[in-house]
Structure 1
Amino acid sequence: MVPFERLEIGIYRAAIAAAIIVCAFPAVAQDGTGPIPENAEARSYGGGWDCSLGYRVNGGDCVAIDVPENAYATGRSYGSGWACKRGYQEVGGVSCEAIPIPENAFLRSSGLDWQCDRGYRQSRETCVPIDLPENAYLTNDPSGSGWECDRGFAKLTDACVPIAVPENGYLTNADFGAEWACERGFFEVDGRCDPVALPANAFLDQESFGPGWRCERGFEAVAGACVAINLPANAHLDRSGNRWRCDRSFQLSDGACVLGR
């Protein structure tokens, strides 16, 4: 027998031996596709199985996860396989300890931290009473002082002082910027509200700049007065109504609108 034929016979015999071993000793699956081991359940869809809650795959078996006190099994195949219950925090990756909550505080909805009760503010790891000044009210903001001044008062250090509103002025209720503004028809001058001097053929304008008034349509402001616009031929008032421009195909030349060429 030639060497090549002997090699073929050897390969054939090895293949048969391997098949016999596989049939006699089936491989243990580690991906949930073999026989269902103890503490496992058949998958609700497809084939195969998954370890029961509180167990994880180890070889072809489902071994129990060491879940510490005050923790629960997550069912995840990665990580520790457990998480601390609400109100507890992981310590060293092996235990769950209660989150220390000081007096006059409560556990936040996340279950991961605490917050002081209304009327108290956090001072390091404790909750201390809020010293509410006169003319102030408590807020639900856990940060900062925990209080705001009533309407008509401004915060000054730890007190609420009255806002000095001049005659013909009103409170703005703004969180920042001016605390008061002048009524319509008045404008601010050196901390007071003076009346707007409204010329003839004008109306009040509440713009924050300018004299506080605008001329009616067809009039223009000249030296604090509203004078009628002398509209030349082939011209019209623009959008503002206080200026004019030449009609289409006409152009301005020496104060007149002449036909363009």
Structure 2
Amino acid sequence: MDHKPHLAEPRGPHAIAACTPAQTPTTMTLFWGSILAVILLLTPAFAQTASQPIPENASAKSYGDGWECNIGFRLNEDTCVAIVVPQNAYDTNRSYGAGWECLHGFRRTDDAACVVVEVPEGGFLDPSGERWRCLRGFNKVDDTCQEIVLPANAYLADASYGSMWTCERGFEATDDRCTAIAVPANAYLNGSGYGQPWTCERGFFERAGLCEAVVIPANAYFDDASYGSGWKCDRGYAASAETCELLSVPENAHLDRSGNRWECNNSFQKSKGLCVLKN
């Protein structure tokens, strides 16, 4: 019997070159081609990362990827340059913003400089240190503080708008002056900021700018309502012109809540001045 030499199975790193029925040369070529394509795609990314080291005066971010400039430096293209603090300013030691602020009493200009805040006479430096305001008794006009001229019988007002002064009690503003309020006899100042500045005393009512006495007829009493005649009839009486006449209450009727009219009792209705039984 002839013995054919036994072929050993390929082993080692070159074993993959052997072709099995499921692995044809075309299949292996496609497999290795895909692996090579992935390596070629990743190679530029690794090269790029390796070619961008952290620049001078910068540090890696405490979170996330990348780097950021140290305190006292700002990003300029791909480098970190030192912050230049102008005169009359101080370093804020912050990683955001300009990195500096003007000293108190100075303000920032468009060309990144700090100039002194010029406070006019009659003004004071605002607590912010960047602007000024006028003192009480002065009014801002452009870049100056002009003193407010008070007319006679007036005092400074603390209002943020409107007139800068207010007339004293008993006076009213007329143009740029404070004129005395003419209070008629039997009246008093009411202190109202609008409308009639005076009010008639009790027992008097206003008529044509004067305070006339209220004439109370018999069987009536004084009424201090802001409208009406100034008096009301007693209970059981009804007003008739300037007098109070006794009410004639018919049978089956009674005085109503006001006491100055009558109404029919229950089950009765008014008919020709009488109270008749309802049908």
Provide TM-score, normalisation by structure 2. 0.64
One-letter amino acid of the counterpart of residue 151, structure 2: P
**How many matched pairs?**
250
- Out of 200, 205, 211, the position equivalent to 1:187 is 205
Does residue 116 (structure 1) correspond to residue 139 (structure 2)? The answer is no
Q: CA deviation at 1:214?
A: 3.0
The 8 Å contact of residues 121 and 145 in structure 1, kept in 2 or not, is answered as no
The 8 Å contact of residues 233 and 244 in structure 2, kept in 1 or not, is answered as yes
In structure 2, the CA distance between the partners of 1:49 and 1:234, relative to structure 1 (3 Å rule), is farther
Does residue 11 (structure 1) correspond to residue 29 (structure 2)? The answer is no
The 8 Å contact of residues 219 and 234 in structure 2, kept in 1 or not, is answered as yes
- Out of 217, 241, 260, the position equivalent to 1:223 is 241
1:156 corresponds in structure 2 to: 174
In structure 2, the CA distance between the partners of 1:8 and 1:250, relative to structure 1 (3 Å rule), is farther
Provide TM-score, normalisation by structure 1. 0.68
- Out of 233, 237, 243, the position equivalent to 2:256 is 237
The 8 Å contact of residues 123 and 145 in structure 2, kept in 1 or not, is answered as yes
Q: CA deviation at 1:198?
A: 1.9
The 8 Å contact of residues 105 and 116 in structure 2, kept in 1 or not, is answered as yes
Q: CA deviation at 1:163?
A: 1.3
C-alpha distance after superposition, 1:7-48 (max 9, x if no partner): 5533333434528954994798xxxxx9xx8468847xx999
Tell me which of the two structures has the higher relative contact order, counting C-alpha pairs closer than 8 angstroms and 6 or more residues apart.
1
In structure 2, the CA distance between the partners of 1:57 and 1:166, relative to structure 1 (3 Å rule), is same
Q: Can you give the 5+ residue segments of structure 1 that lack an aligned partner in the other structure?
A: 29-33
- How do residues 200-219 of structure 1 correspond to structure 2 at under 5 angstroms? 200-219=218-237
The 8 Å contact of residues 59 and 67 in structure 2, kept in 1 or not, is answered as no
Q: Can you give the 5+ residue segments of structure 2 that lack an aligned partner in the other structure?
A: 1-24
Distance in 2, Cα, partners of 1:241 & 1:89: 78
The 8 Å contact of residues 236 and 247 in structure 1, kept in 2 or not, is answered as no
- Out of 144, 147, 151, the position equivalent to 1:126 is 144
- Percent of residue pairs identical: 42
Does residue 199 (structure 1) correspond to residue 229 (structure 2)? The answer is no
One-letter amino acid of the counterpart of residue 202, structure 2: R
2:185 corresponds in structure 1 to: 167
Q: Mean alpha-carbon deviation: is it higher for 249-258 or for 215-224? A: 249-258
One-letter amino acid of the counterpart of residue 178, structure 1: Q
One-letter amino acid of the counterpart of residue 12, structure 1: I
Distance in 2, Cα, partners of 1:90 & 1:194: 69
2:119 corresponds in structure 1 to: 101
Distance in 2, Cα, partners of 1:244 & 1:126: 75
2:13 corresponds in structure 1 to: none
One-letter amino acid of the counterpart of residue 245, structure 2: V
- SS of 1:199 mapped into structure 2: coil
In structure 2, the CA distance between the partners of 1:41 and 1:229, relative to structure 1 (3 Å rule), is farther
- SS of 1:203 mapped into structure 2: strand
The 8 Å contact of residues 235 and 257 in structure 1, kept in 2 or not, is answered as no
Q: CA deviation at 1:87?
A: 5.2
- SS of 1:101 mapped into structure 2: coil
The 8 Å contact of residues 115 and 142 in structure 1, kept in 2 or not, is answered as no
One-letter amino acid of the counterpart of residue 185, structure 1: G
One-letter amino acid of the counterpart of residue 167, structure 1: A
In structure 2, the CA distance between the partners of 1:121 and 1:254, relative to structure 1 (3 Å rule), is same
Distance in 1, Cα, partners of 2:277 & 2:65: 90
C-alpha distance after superposition, 1:66-112 (max 9, x if no partner): 665556759686x7677666655543373444443211112345656
Q: CA deviation at 1:169?
A: 0.6
